[in-house]
Amino acid sequence: MITKRIIPCLDVRDSRVVKGVNFEGLNDVSSPVELAAYYSENGADELVFYDITASYEQRALFTDILKQVAKTIFIPLTVGGGINDLSDFERVLSCGADKVSVNSGAIRNPQLVYEAAKRYGDQCVVLSADIKRVGGVFHVFAKGGREDTGMEAVEWIRRCVGSGAGEVVVNSIDTDGVKGGFDIGMLSAVLDAVSVPVIASGGAGCAEDFVTLFKTLPRISAGLAASVFHFKQVSIPELKKLLAENAIPARII
Amino acid sequence: MVAVIDYGVGNLFSLKSSFEILGSSACVTNDPEVIESSDRIVLPGVGAFGDAAKKLSDSGMARIVCEQAKKGKPILGICLGMQLLFETSYEYGCHSGLALIPGSVRPLKDIIDPALDIPHIGWNSLELKGSCPLFKYMHSGDFVYFVHSFYGAQCEEYVTAYTEYSVPVTAAVARDNIFGTQFHPEKSGNVGLNILKAFCEVKS
């Protein structure tokens, strides 16, 4: 039976994981390589790396890190941040990424999803959408959630899936950082519109929030979070156990 | 040495790294001499069948893989690489494969519960059938990572593992020295590494 995926997300800047982390048994808590190994050993089903650097030089450092991770970690790796054209796809795919997440790059150039899916396959292209309610309407935001594009989000997602996005990450700006649970209303609207796997992001504050997510929306494929894992508010082995106790299929290692 | 066939598709970096961590040397190559001198061959692949089959054929790799297969060299096709082992694919048209294993490739949407997502992405458990040497270090129920929208059909006789996605779906096939996995062993944690280890131990 297909299991629900639990995905920690690592924001990387200047070769370090951003957001303080504190793990016992890790010498260097902000080393992407060590943290990725830790999560993999603890049962993470996939890892997402966001490159939040700005300059070209730093981008090269990021791909070096990606290579180091892919040399030792054998679970799926998704990479996002700074993906603007096909050469960016090539750059990260040749360093061990399996999937590439596009966000602002697709907003600037809507052809990007289509071109990438055609060259690398639908399974390779993940659409990541930062969404916020504006006057009761779901709007897509660009530039890390700073800029309202004015576009209606569900229609945008439907269009990108039609162009070949094989997976969608829905990041609710409304619930992000609040730690009061995932944005069930927003996720439900997206699920109604597409038939590719949808990954929930933004709002996880405790393990029970994942149970509520998968119980309320059985079609959600995965739950993604950063700080609850980094700050050890949720341990992945305990979360997987809790899912199994609630009859939610989970990969327990 | 494991020759990982390079014909311009797939995450070859992880595949090469997974063999290296197992202590086997691996070479990503499209050099006929290197492939001929290798102990075993991996045929990777992601993306669309038609494009990949054309690249495989245009690069001359299709002919070499078939020659090596007939000589008895162990060959492992992964994901689209497994699908390429079959005779025919009905992914956007009708395309010929390498025909090393009887069977065809058909859309998952024709057989699964329409409420389920396509692609089939994520960790799913294996139901082993028979005693394939690739699975000697694992058990039925172990999880592996899948990502695909098409599946191996009309190949029941050669299926060595199924996975459940509302219906049983071909997860692995074998015929003599030819092996295929629909899932990605190089992305399936320790379970997957053990499958690659077992492949390295198959006698040529």
Q: Per-residue DSSP letters for B121-157?
A: EEEEE-EE-S--GGGTT--TT-EEEEEESEEEES-GG
Ranges A17-26, A164-173, B2-11, most confident? A164-173
State what percent of residues in chain A have pLDDT above 70: 95
Burial of B144 per CB tally in 10 Å (0-12, 13-18, 19+)? buried
Domain range enclosing A98: 5-245
- Quickly state the pLDDT bin for A54 (edges 50, 70, 90): low
Instruction: Tell whether A252 is covered by a domain.
Output: no
Q: Which of A18-22, B84-88, B145-149, B197-201 has the weakest average pLDDT?
A: A18-22
Length in residues, chain A? 253
Phi, psi of B29 (to 5 degrees): -150, 155
Q: Per-residue DSSP letters for B75-93?
A: EEEETHHHHTTSSEE-SSS
pLDDT digits (tens, 9 = 90+) for B110-156: 999 999 999 999 999 999 999 999 999 999 999 999 999 999 999 99
Q: Which of A51, A88, A130, A183 is catalytic?
A: A130
A162 touches B at CB < 8 Å: no
Question: H helices within chain A, ranges in order?
Answer: 32-41, 56-72, 86-93, 104-108, 111-120, 153-163, 184-193, 207-216, 227-230, 236-245
Does residue B15 have a pLDDT over 70?
A: yes
d(CA B16, CA A121): 21
A215 touches B at CB < 8 Å: no
Instruction: Assess whether A176 carries a catalytic annotation.
Output: no
B167 touches A at CB < 8 Å: no
Is B163 strand, coil or helix?
A: strand
Pick the more confident residue, A253 or A191: A191
- Quickly state the pLDDT bin for A22 (edges 50, 70, 90): very low
Amino acid at A42: N
Cβ neighbours around B141 below 10 Å, total: 9
Contact B122 A72 (CB under 8 A): no
Which tokens is B168 given?
A: 């049983």
Q: Enter the pTM of the model.
A: 0.95
Mean pLDDT of A135-160: 95
Domain tally for chain B? Answer: 1
Q: Which of A61-65, A136-140, B1-5, B193-197 has the weakest average pLDDT?
A: A61-65
**A177 CA to chain B: closest CA distance, Å?**
27
Domain tally for chain A? Answer: 1
Domain range enclosing B25: 2-201
Q: Which of A83-92, A238-247, B168-177 has the weakest average pLDDT?
A: A83-92
Is A91 strand, coil or helix?
A: helix
Contact B123 A2 (CB under 8 A): yes
CATH code (residue A9): 3.20.20.70
Contacts of B31 (CB under 8 A, 6+ apart): none
pLDDT at A20: 45
Angle at A150 between CA A148 and CA A156, to 5 degrees: 105
Instruction: Tell whether A233 is covered by a domain.
Output: yes
Contact B121 A121 (CB under 8 A): no
Mean pLDDT of A120-140: 95
Which tokens is B23 given?
A: 């202590």
In whole angstroms, what separates CA A235 from the centre of its chain? 18
pLDDT digits (tens, 9 = 90+) for B45-104: 888 899 899 999 999 999 999 999 999 999 999 999 999 999 999 998 999 999 999 999
pLDDT digits (tens, 9 = 90+) for A164-217: 999 999 999 999 988 899 999 999 999 999 999 999 999 999 999 999 999 999
- For an interface test with B, give the residue of A6, A40, A123, A221 to mutate (most B CBs within 10 A): A123
Q: Are A100 and A89 in contact (CB under 8 A)?
A: yes
Residue A233: in which H helix or E strand, if any? Answer: none
Closest Cβ opposite residue B121 in set A1, A195, A197: A197
CATH code (residue B44): 3.40.50.880
Mean pLDDT of all residues belonging to chain A: 92
Contact A1 B125 (CB under 8 A): yes
- What residue in A sits closest to B162 (Cα-Cα)? A1
Which residues of B are identified as catalytic? 79, 184, 186
